[in-house]
Structure 1
Amino acid sequence: MQASPGMAFVVRTLVIALSLWVATVLVSGIDLGGGTTATRAGTLIVVALIFGVVNAVVKPVVATIGCPLYVLTLGLFGLVVNALLFMLTGWLSGLLNLPFHVDGFWAGFWGAIIVAIVSFFLHVVIPDRIDAR
């Protein structure tokens, strides 16, 4: 029995929020502002939603335009794109006065890699019936 699409969306959002939290712990250039635990968790959920929108809207456009660079670099250009999209997420969070900051390219680079790895492992652990895509 599959979970509802709404439940799958909530699970994916929570997975990204947890992945973002791990990135804030491991990467010194990614900062999640102070406050209570509930405030920080709420910030991570909103940033996870922003991250999802950026990856759903901007990434396909960039991938289409940058297709020759993906081919030329055997896909390594994707790491640069992911870092820039992570930085864009931090910038958009700042526009919304969220206490989530990405300080530069390398912080975005490592943050994007950590988010990808952690979310991959979390999606492996979560049963497919809950995390239906």
Structure 2
Amino acid sequence: MAVVAVSLWVATLIVPGIDDTAGTTSTRIGTLVVVALIFGLVNAVLKPLIKVVGCPFYVLTLGLIGLVVNALLFLLVGYIASGIGLPFTVQSFGAAFVGAIVVAVVGFILHFLIPDRFDQR
């Protein structure tokens, strides 16, 4: 969860249209942690369902539809976060598209740099 929160923070810094407008540093951190929880829940519940239902589209597009699905899920996370009153917004599909790529790349790099304790068996 910490890796996702840091990835979301990097996305708010890099991608115009993704904003964390909380006032203080502690509220920004809290907002990012809650948004990371929402992000995890959305990806855990909806993404497998979408992959099963949309399997033919994944095959037809050689997996490129996954980028669009990730962007739509990221847009949904922003909508849910702003809907429950968090100062986190994703303003457009383009911002969600680039933001989803940034979160994935930063998450990959952080997971590579910070190995899980289960990997050290």
TM-score normalised by the chain length of structure 1: 0.87
Please show how residues 115-130 of structure 1 align to structure 2 within 5 Å: 115-129=103-117
Name 2:59's counterpart in structure 1: 71
Which of 47, 50, 55 is 2:43 aligned to? Answer: 55
**Percent identical:** 62
Please show how residues 22-61 of structure 1 align to structure 2 within 5 Å: 22-61=10-49
Name 1:98's counterpart in structure 2: 86
CA RMSD of aligned residues (A): 1.3
Encode CA deviations 1:77-121: one digit per residue, 9 max, x unaligned: 000000000000001101110000001111000000000000000
Higher relative contact order (CA 8 A, sep 6+): 1
CA pair 37-88 structure 1, distance change in 2 beyond 3 A: same
Deviation at 1:128, TM superposition (A): 2.6
Matched-pair contact (CA < 8 Å) for 2:22–2:31: no
Matched-pair contact (CA < 8 Å) for 1:123–1:131: no
Deviating beyond 3 angstroms after TM superposition, the runs of 4 or more aligned structure 1 residues are none
Q: Distance in 1 between matches of 2:4 and 2:44?
A: 14
Deviation at 1:131, TM superposition (A): 7.4
Task: Tell me the matched-pair count.
Answer: 120
